[in-house]
Amino acid sequence: MAAARGCRCPLAFLTLVSAGAVGGLAAIGWMVWSAHRAGDPELTEGASYGPLGVSAAAGVAVLLGAAAALVRGARGLPLDRLLSVSSWVRLAMDLVSATGGGGLGSR
C-alpha cells in the first residue's frame, strides 16, 4: 500500500539514520560548549563548537522533515521543496560561520 502512494520508505529510513548521526554532532557541540562555558581549562578552542552544534541542530530538523516528506510521497512535495531551500540556507550560513562570520571576502 505504501509503495502505491509513492512512499520511499528505505530512503526515509536512511534519512532518519542520518538525522541520528547529525544529532550526535549536535550533542557533542552542546557538551563541548557547556564545558567551555563552565571554564574547563582543557578546552581552549571550545567556542568553535557552538556554531557546529547550532548548525547540527538545524540539520536534524531539516532531516526529520525530509524523512516525513519521503514517507508522504507525492503529498510531501511542498514540504520537500521548503526543506531543500532551508538546507541551502543552512549551507550558506555554515560557510559564513566557517569564515569567521564576516563573509567570504573579509579580512
Q: Which residue has the cell 556554531?
A: 51
Are 31 and 72 in contact by the 8 Å Cβ rule? The answer is no
CA of residue 72 relative to chain centroid, distance: 21
Q: Which residue has the higher pLDDT, 18 or 102?
A: 18
* Mean pLDDT across 64-75: 84
Please give the DSSP secondary-structure letter assigned to residue 42: T
At 10 the pLDDT is: 85
- Average of per-residue pLDDT values in the chain: 78
Q: Which residue has the cell 516525513?
A: 68
Please give the DSSP secondary-structure letter assigned to residue 5: T
At 100 the pLDDT is: 63
Distance separating the N- and C-terminal Cα atoms of the chain? 57
